[in-house]
């Protein structure tokens, strides 16, 4: 069987493509973990930013300096909110569950972007 340079090149390209896909599949959990860590870090930054989320104005949380005590401490969040979507809903608009809540409706009033709310949710969920 005789192989031409063109057929050999195609085989090498096919093998390279398959190897690249296999490498991507093996790395994707690591990439997903890195993306999640980045989201948590971004969420923490927004939540402690006095001009953004400002969660510390009302909540004691993590290692935040000068926390408020109007809202509940943000601890054991996975136990309090087994469904992470409900935590996100609370951050998006707390008045849905409690019309008398003094927590700002960050999403409804577009005070924070959807991505910022997602990142804050990811961060708060780690507490």
Higher pLDDT, 97 or 2: 97
Best CA proximity match to 121, nearest among 89, 88, 76, 77: 88
- pLDDT at residue 90 in the model: 95
Which tens digit of pLDDT belongs to each residue from 86-124? 999 999 999 999 999 999 999 999 999 999 999 999 999
| Mean pLDDT value of segment 18-23 | 56
Residue 46 has pLDDT above 70, yes or no: yes
Give the mean pLDDT of the chain. Answer: 82
Taking the complete model, does pTM exceed 0.75, yes or no?
no
DSSP H or E segment with residue 112: none
- Structural domains in the chain, CATH included, are 39-124 (1.10.760.10)
Under 8 Å between Cβ of 55 and 74 = yes
Identify the residue with better confidence: 29 or 66: 66
Of 94, 112, 107, the C-alpha closest to 52 is 112
**Distance, CA of 33 to CA of 52 (rounded, Å):** 26
Nearest to 50, CA basis, from 62, 67, 37? 67
Q: Which two tokens stand for residue 63?
A: 């290692």
| pLDDT at residue 120 in the model | 94
User: The tokens of 78 are what?
Assistant: 């996975």
- pLDDT of the residue at 76: 95
Q: Which two tokens stand for residue 91?
A: 């951050």
């Amino acid at each position: 069987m005789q192989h031409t340079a063109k057929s050999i090149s195609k085989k090498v390209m096919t093998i390279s493509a398959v190897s690249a896909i296999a490498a991507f599949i093996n790395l994707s959990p690591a990439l997903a973990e890195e993306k999640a860590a980045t989201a948590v870090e971004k969420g923490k930054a927004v939540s402690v930013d006095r001009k953004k989320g400002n969660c510390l104005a009302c909540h004691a949380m993590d290692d935040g300096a000068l926390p408020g005590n109007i809202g509940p401490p943000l601890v054991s969040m996975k136990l309090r909110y087994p469904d992470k979507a409900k935590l996100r809903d609370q951050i998006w608009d707390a008045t849905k569950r409690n019309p008398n809540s003094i927590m700002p409706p960050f999403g409804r009033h577009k005070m924070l972007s959807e991505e910022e709310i997602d990142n804050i949710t990811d961060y708060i969920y780690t507490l």
